[in-house]
Copies of this chain bind each other. A is one copy, B any other.
């Protein structure tokens, strides 16, 4: 139920950026690729909505960047974890499964992750993550890449890098950049990460579209 209303909120913001990958979103996607490729231990953290919307795109990104794929749920049950892991494996992903521990500085069910997975990661890609988990990962010193259509969300503002784009457009662009971006460009992108600029640009796109909507 909460996943559906969250999806609706995303649809509204997607409408405001014109349901397309903006120039600043593409820059963010290329930077995300550079961060994933330069990481020592990159992990893609997958929740229910991400798996439902983009299991194949997640598998393709894993192929392109070599990251671990680990399931992390807000509403965690063993049954839901197994269902979503199966969905990802059927789409071609290699899922980092097995015993989890309560390792993140969060209350209750949300603290769980795998010691040799997300807990050891230096770069974590979190599509559609909530603000608390994003902050917890940042507080552990990790570089967090968020994909979030709302540039004002706590997730978007706390992440190291935020891709303001729809998930099934964003993931293939990150995969493409992993395959095609020259090493020199990757180095330049890593040296100039500026999340405030990326969020400002997303907001500028939205206000421009709103301002001319009644023309």
Contact = CB atoms under 8 A, between A and B. Distances in A.
Interface of A: 1, 4-13, 15, 150-152, 157, 196, 199-200, 203, 206-207, 210-211, 213-214
Nearest to A200: B214
Contact of A15 (B5, B11, B152, B206): B152
Contact of A210 (B6, B206, B213, B214): B206
Nearest to A157: B214
Contacts of A152: 15, 210, 213-214
Copies of this chain, count: 2
Contacts of A157: 214
Contacts of A9: 8-9, 11-12
A97 B214 CA distance: 38
Given A5-B5, A5-B8, A9-B12, 15 more contacts: A5-B11, A7-B8, A8-B8, A8-B12, A11-B12, A12-B12, A12-B13, A12-B150, A196-B214, A200-B214, A203-B210, A203-B213, A206-B210, A207-B210, A210-B210
